[in-house]
Amino acid sequence: MDLGIKGKKAIVCAASKGLGKGCAMALAREGVDLVINSRTQETLEATAEEIRSETGVSVTAVACDITTPEGRAAVLDAAGPIDILINNAGGPPPGNFRDWTVEDWQKALNANMLTAIELIRLTVDGMIERKFGRVVNITSGAVKAPIPILGLSNGARTGLTGFVAGVARETVRDNVTINGLLPGPFDTDRLRGNMKLQAEKAGVPYEQFAAQHAQKNPAGRFGRADEFGAACAFLCSVHAGFITGQNLLMDGGAFPGTL
Ligand code: NAP
Which atom of ligand 1 has the smallest separation from the CA of 115?
18
CA atoms of 111 and 92, how far apart (whole Å): 8
Neighbours of 2 (CB within 10 A): 10
CA of 3 to the centre of ligand 1 (A): 26
pLDDT digits (tens, 9 = 90+) for 109-153: 999 999 999 999 999 999 999 999 999 999 999 999 999 999 999
pLDDT digits (tens, 9 = 90+) for 176-206: 999 999 999 999 999 999 899 989 999 999 9
Average pLDDT taken over every residue of the chain: 97
Instruction: Name the DSSP class of 90.
Output: P
pLDDT digits (tens, 9 = 90+) for 35-50: 999 999 999 999 999 9
What integer pLDDT is reported at residue 62 of this predicted model? 98
Residue 131 backbone class (left: φ over 0; alpha: ψ -120 to 50; beta: rest): left
CA atoms of 135 and 143, how far apart (whole Å): 18
CB 88 within 8 A of CB 14: yes
Task: Give the three-state DSSP class for 23.
Answer: helix
Give mean pLDDT, residues 99-118.
98
CB 159 within 8 A of CB 140: no
Rounded to 5°, angle at Cα 27 from 124 and 244: 45
Mutate to test the pocket of ligand 1, among 11, 12, 13, 17 (most ligand atoms within 8 A of CB): 17
- Ligand 1 binding pocket includes 191 (Cβ within 6 Å): yes
What integer pLDDT is reported at residue 194 of this predicted model? 87
- Ligand 1 binding pocket includes 110 (Cβ within 6 Å): no
Residue 74 CB contacts under 8 Å (≥ 6 apart), including other chains? 62, 64
Which atom of ligand 1 has the smallest separation from the CA of 22?
26
Output the residue whose Cα is nearest ligand 1's atom 17: 65
Q: In what order do the strands lie in the sheet with 9-12?
A: 59-63, 33-38, 9-12, 84-87, 133-138, 176-183, 247-250
Output the residue whose Cα is nearest ligand 1's atom 41: 186
